[in-house]
Amino acid sequence: MNKISLAIHGGAGTIVRNKLNADLEKLYREGLQRALDKGYSVLEKKGAALEAVKIAVMELEDNELFNAGKGSVFTNRGTHEMDASIMEGKELRAGAVGAVRNIRNPIALAEKIMLQSGHVFLGGEGAIEFAKQAGIELVEDAYFFSQFRFDQWKAVRDSDEFRLDHDIHLQDKKFGTVGAVAYDFEGNLAAATSTGGMTNKKFGRMGDTPVIGSGTYANNKTCAISCTGNGEIFLRTVAAYDVSALMEYKGYSLHHAMEEVVMKKLLPMEGDGGMIGIDAQGNIAMLFNSSGMYRGAKSSDGRNEVAIYKE
CA dist., res. 296 & res. 190, Å (int)? 16
37, 122, 284 from 298: Cα distances, Å? 8, 32, 9
Q: Active-site residue 193, yes or no?
A: no
Q: Which of 177, 195, 199, 209 is catalytic?
A: 177
CA dist., res. 94 & res. 37, Å (int)? 24
User: Could you tell me which residues come within 8 angstroms of residue 293 by beta carbon, excluding any fewer than 6 positions away?
Assistant: 9, 11, 12, 13, 15, 228, 273, 274, 286, 307, 308
Query: DSSP secondary-structure letter at 290?
Result: S
SS3 233: helix
CA dist., res. 227 & res. 181, Å (int)? 10
- Interior/surface letters 184-219, b for 16+ CB within 10 angstroms, e for the rest: bbebbbbbbbbbbbbbbbeeebbbbbbbbbbbbbbb
CA dist., res. 168 & res. 157, Å (int)? 12
CA angle, 99 as apex, 98 and 105 as ends, to 5°? 75
CA-based R_g, the chain, Å: 17
Write out the catalytic residue numbers: 177
